[in-house]
Amino acid sequence: MFSLNGTSFTNNSLSGVSRCLNQSSRRVSAPMVVVAAVNSNGKPGDGSVSVLVENALTESPAPVEMEVKSTVTGGVQDVYGEDSATEDQSITPWTLSVASGFSLLRNPHYNKGLAFSERERDTHYLRGLLPPVVISHDLQVKKMMNSIRKYDVPLQRYMAMMDLQEMNERLFYKLLIDNVEELLPIVYTPTVGEACQKYGSIFRRPQGLFISLKEKGKIHEVLKNWPEKKIQVIVVTDGERILGLGDLGCQGMGIPVGKLSLYTALGGIRPSACLPVTIDVGTNNENLLNDEFYIGLRQRRATGQEYSELLDEFMYAVKQNYGEKVLIQFEDFANHNAFDLLAKYGTSHLVFNDDIQGTASVVLAGLMAALNLVGGSLSEHTFLFLGAGEAGTGIAELIALEMSKQTGIPLEETRKKIWMVDSKGLIVKSRMEMLQHFKRPWAHDHEPVQELVNAVKSIKPTVLIGSSGAGRTFTKEVVQAMATFNEKPIIFALSNPTSQSECTAEEAYSWSEGRAIFASGSPFAPVEYNGKVYASGQANNAYIFPGFGLGLIISGAIRVHDDMLLVASEALADEVSQENFEKGLIYPPFSNIRKISAHIRAKVAAKAYELGLATRLPQPKDLVAYAESCMYSPAYRSYR
Ligand SMILES: O=C([O-])CC(=O)C(=O)O
Ligand SMILES: [Mg+2]
């Protein structure tokens, strides 16, 4: 028991502190979260409680930081680590954590390292636990960047970043936000691919939830083991198709972790609202099954009923634990499950498949921008895809939809402008019987063609898109063929990571004599060809999903709709400046990504309101300003 401002509380009703504050201060507007309440001397009876209040949505300090001095009649320190699930859920969004001294330094959410001020060191039992110097957040960033740059191997940089995330979350995000172009390829594609391949060896601490067949029947409880309760976005994989690297089983965890760090850094969703999940139903990867350091279930993949029962239980438990409006992003599932899961849960949950929908939206944006360089409208172009899986067919469908919207021509007709080659050659009507359902809309009248190069020569596409997961498949002959009948061939090599890219930037520019409009899923450094420097764009779904996700969240959307993907594409294409076009770029630089994300978010939210899918009412007047005000900032809080 302790009392604050004349009110008594038990330790497990500390959320009452928040209510008391809220009632006693006219200066604080809900929703606010108490992030630290520390008994400054720890002795019952004569201490004081200092409390920091912050905005629940953004984790940024509230307009007014409050210090409440009051007589404490009981110790409050011992509530540290108490399960906040025991708190009265009806008073959400109040949450409370208490940390001081050594445990404060060990808590990545609150730790500031050498940036703790003299006063904080006094009031939070930090004296002696830190060396004397006090440094600024900016200097910490500079210091970390210096040490990260000393590593030559990208995986070492990745591990240094993961260590930092575990040690000081706000420093991690500030580093990432301030150095996004340099660090994106480290915490995300392509390095995250290598991290997944070696995840068993580099695994240190769990960064997300592992839900395996062993947890069947207990998933509801497993979700409760996660320390955060107010989850807004889940990225989930079953590891069967990690980037273009194939089945990495349980080691796919690097992907949800990486994607969610971008949700925070690029999209502005607070870290504690993000939950990375890996569903482990086994792996068919023999190397992993025989690897003594493999961290997952050592069995072949469960399929059929066993698989769908586990997924069903997971999806149900998520809704039970976090409500209707939690966004579930499916990532890197194999084709045979990805389409089915999206269709199955699309009507009951807020689900989004990044590989089908996010990639589609980002590629459509790139194409819209490319039209400024090559001319013509979308429907005047002809498209050929290598790879008819999630990404390929997802992009194709969104292009066909946009063409149909622009021209009024029915979707069945606009689809005919789009051709696909898979591992068995051109997708044509005579193969219909044998085709998986998601490939069928793309089977057109044509004689069978085996090789990509022959398909290119026969179809004469203006746009060639690689979504095959197979590296070096856009050969010299293929690129040269594109360059013979197109003045400016549009070539997208989307597969990830770099090793799986259908061709390199250098190949695209040199084989097309510098005429290609090129973009790739993984980043390539600028290329010099014939004395001219060519910078290419990164057609990566990282441009879309963080802003798209927050657009859904701020509007309280309950379903994803294709029209939201279309407006996200338009919003991204609008961000490409004249200066970018002059350099041949069809994507804006990632350095502007937070601003870009705010625009995408506002457009997606506006569409959700227009479609009647938004539940957060009333609609904010200025959605861009509102979106910006909701963004998580990694600025340190001051614990007074
Ligand atoms: O992770 C990325 O860079 C893009 C993506 O979703 C994939 O390749 O599966
Ligand atoms: Mg993916």
Task: Say if residue 528's pLDDT is above 90.
Answer: yes
Residue carrying the six token digits 């504690």: 272
Query: Which tens digits make up the pLDDT trace of 136-168?
Result: 999 999 999 999 999 999 999 999 999 999 999
User: Rounded mean pLDDT of 171-184?
Assistant: 98
Secondary structure (H, E, C), 586-632: CCCCHHHHHHHHHHHHHHHHHHHHHCCCCCCCCCCCCHHHHHHHCCC
> Does residue 204 have a known ligand-binding role?
no
User: Rounded mean pLDDT of 176-188?
Assistant: 97
Q: Which two three-digit tokens encode residue 118?
A: 């003299």
Which is the closest atom of ligand 1 to the Cα of 259?
A: 1
Q: How far apart are CA 270 and CA 305, in angstroms?
A: 36
Q: Which two three-digit tokens encode residue 7?
A: 């009110």
Task: Say if residue 41's pLDDT is above 80.
Answer: no
8 A C-beta contact, residue 479 and residue 491 = yes
* CA-nearest residue, atom 7 of ligand 1: 243
Full DSSP string of 285-347: -HHHHT-TT--S-SSPPP-HHHHHHHHHHHHHHHHHHH-TT-EEEE-S--HHHHHHHHHHHTT
Q: How far apart are CA 178 and CA 632, in angstroms?
A: 14
Q: Cis ω on the peptide bond leading into residue 132 (within 30° of 0)?
A: no
pLDDT at 256: 98
Q: Which residue has the higher pLDDT, 95 or 562?
A: 562
Query: Which tens digits make up the pLDDT trace of 328-347?
Result: 999 999 999 999 999 999 99
Give the single-character DSSP code of 422. Answer: E
Q: How far apart are CA 260 and CA 279, in angstroms?
A: 16
Residue carrying the six token digits 């959410």: 109
Nearest to 388 by CA among 425, 357, 361: 425
pLDDT at 379: 97
Give the single-character DSSP code of 89. Answer: G
Q: Which two three-digit tokens encode residue 430?
A: 């005579």
Q: Which two three-digit tokens encode residue 39?
A: 């008994």
Task: Say if residue 37's pLDDT is above 60.
Answer: no
Which is the closest atom of ligand 1 to the Cα of 332?
A: 9
CA atoms within 13 A on the CB side of 325: 16
Task: Say if residue 172's pLDDT is above 60.
Answer: yes
The alpha carbon of 338 and the centre of ligand 2 are apart by a number of angstroms equal to 11
Q: What is the CATH number of domain 190-353?
A: 3.40.50.10380
Which is the closest atom of ligand 1 to the Cα of 241?
A: 9
The secondary structure element, H or E, covering residue 177 is helix 169-178
Which is the closest atom of ligand 1 to the Cα of 358?
A: 6
The alpha carbon of 206 and the centre of ligand 2 are apart by a number of angstroms equal to 21
Query: Which tens digits make up the pLDDT trace of 592-640?
Result: 999 999 999 999 999 999 999 999 999 999 999 998 888 999 999 887 6
pLDDT at 48: 38
Q: How far apart are CA 562 and CA 217, in angstroms?
A: 34
Strand partners, 528: 533
Q: pTM of the entire structure?
A: 0.87
Nearest to 613 by CA among 356, 394, 350, 359: 350
- Rg (Cα) of the chain, in Å, rounded? 26
> Does residue 540 have a known ligand-binding role?
yes
Query: Which tens digits make up the pLDDT trace of 549-593?
Result: 999 999 999 999 999 999 999 999 999 999 999 999 999 999 999
Contacts of 312 (CB under 8 A, 6+ apart): none
The alpha carbon of 192 and the centre of ligand 1 are apart by a number of angstroms equal to 10
Query: Is ligand 1 within 6 A of the CB of residue 243?
Result: yes
8 A C-beta contact, residue 394 and residue 388 = no
pLDDT at 59: 60
Query: Is ligand 1 within 6 A of the CB of residue 285?
Result: no
Q: At residue 593, what are phi and psi to the nearest 5 degrees?
A: -65, -30
* CA-nearest residue, atom 6 of ligand 1: 355
Distance of CA 402 to the CA centre of its chain: 25
Three-state DSSP at 420 gives: strand
CATH fit for domain 543-630, picks 3.40.50.970, 3.30.750.24, 3.40.50.10380, 3.40.50.300: 3.40.50.10380
Q: Which residue has the higher pLDDT, 8 or 367?
A: 367
Helices (H), 377-520: 390-407, 411-414, 452-459, 476-485, 505-511
Report the chain's mean pLDDT, rounded to a whole number: 88
pLDDT at 627: 87
pLDDT at 204: 85
Q: Which two three-digit tokens encode residue 637?
A: 């809080």
pLDDT at 55: 55
The alpha carbon of 256 and the centre of ligand 1 are apart by a number of angstroms equal to 11
pLDDT at 350: 97
Beta strand 49-55 with 32-39: parallel, antiparallel or unpaired? antiparallel
Query: Is ligand 1 within 6 A of the CB of residue 240?
Result: no
Q: Which two three-digit tokens encode residue 552?
A: 């859904």
Query: Is ligand 1 within 6 A of the CB of residue 354?
Result: yes
pLDDT at 66: 36
User: Rounded mean pLDDT of 248-266?
Assistant: 97
Q: How many CB atoms lie within 10 A of CB 265?
A: 29
Give span(s): CATH 3.40.50.10380, the chain.
190-353, 543-630
8 A C-beta contact, residue 254 and residue 260 = no
Strand partners, 492: 465, 519
Percent of the chain with pLDDT over 90: 82
Nearest to 184 by CA among 522, 506, 433, 527: 522
The alpha carbon of 189 and the centre of ligand 1 are apart by a number of angstroms equal to 7
Burial of 360 from C-beta contacts in 10 A (0-12 / 13-18 / 19+)? buried
> Does residue 241 have a known ligand-binding role?
yes
Q: Which residue has the higher pLDDT, 24 or 130?
A: 130
Give the single-character DSSP code of 10. Answer: -
Burial of 521 from C-beta contacts in 10 A (0-12 / 13-18 / 19+)? buried
8 A C-beta contact, residue 586 and residue 370 = yes
Q: How far apart are CA 374 and CA 366, in angstroms?
A: 12
Q: Cis ω on the peptide bond leading into residue 618 (within 30° of 0)?
A: yes
User: Rounded mean pLDDT of 64-69?
Assistant: 35
8 A C-beta contact, residue 321 and residue 211 = no
Is the domain defined by 357-539 classed in CATH 3.40.50.720?
Answer: yes
Three-state DSSP at 450 gives: coil
> Does residue 321 have a known ligand-binding role?
no
Task: Say if residue 524's pLDDT is above 90.
Answer: yes
Give the single-character DSSP code of 62. Answer: P
Query: Is ligand 1 within 6 A of the CB of residue 215?
Result: no
Nearest to 548 by CA among 603, 599, 594, 601: 601
Among all residues, which ones are annotated catalytic? 188, 259
Task: Say if residue 79's pLDDT is above 50.
Answer: no
pLDDT at 54: 55
Q: How far apart are CA 485 and CA 491, in angstroms?
A: 13
Task: Say if residue 494's pLDDT is above 50.
Answer: yes
